[in-house]
Amino acid sequence: TKLTQYLEYSGIYCPVPVFNKYGNSYRSHIINDKTHAVRVYKYIKGETMNKVKINSEISTNFGFYVGRLTSVLKKFDHGGFHRNHLWALEKCPEVLRFVEVFDQEKQRQTIITILNKFQFDVLLNADQLEKSF
């Protein structure tokens, strides 16, 4: 929520949460005895990039927008982005311990191959790569 609010404040057009009458950006809702967080976001009319015919103008505008987004994000900081999450890219080696949940050997081997390649190609060079947040 803080990130999308910051992006909107910085002039980046993105979906932002709609706050309910209690001032919350989400509400807990129980479905089949499980609690779920439900959020509503403002609708942004338009086409997704996969449905747009790409030309030089679209490519230029896209590059400009991504560059602007990168500049804005470099100035954003929030405690939630400094937590140690299993889904952080540098934690991908730890994900290997969950590969057994896949039934098919071919799936497991594909996942192992991709994670090993990521470790070798990216994580071993992580100190040389620019990091956001």
What is the C-alpha separation between 133 and 81, in angstroms, rounded? 7
Residues 98 and 47 reside in one and the same domain? no
What is the C-alpha separation between 43 and 115, in angstroms, rounded? 35
State the residue range of the domain holding 114.
84-126
Residues 93 and 59 reside in one and the same domain? no
Of the chain, the end-to-end C-alpha distance in Å amounts to: 15
Q: Are the beta carbons of 39 and 17 closer than 8 angstroms?
A: yes
Indicate the number of domains in the chain: 2
Residues 63 and 98 reside in one and the same domain? no
Does 131 fall in a domain?
no
The predicted-structure confidence for 60-113, as pLDDT tens digits, reads as follows 999 999 999 999 999 998 887 777 777 777 788 888 888 989 889 999 999 999
Percentage of the chain beyond pLDDT 70 is 98
Does 103 fall in a domain?
yes
Mean pLDDT of 47-66: 93
Percentage of the chain beyond pLDDT 90 is 59
Using pLDDT thresholds of 50, 70 and 90, give the confidence band for residue 133: low
What's residue 62's pLDDT? Answer: 93
Does 132 fall in a domain?
no
- Single pTM value for the model: 0.61
Residues 8 and 31 reside in one and the same domain? yes
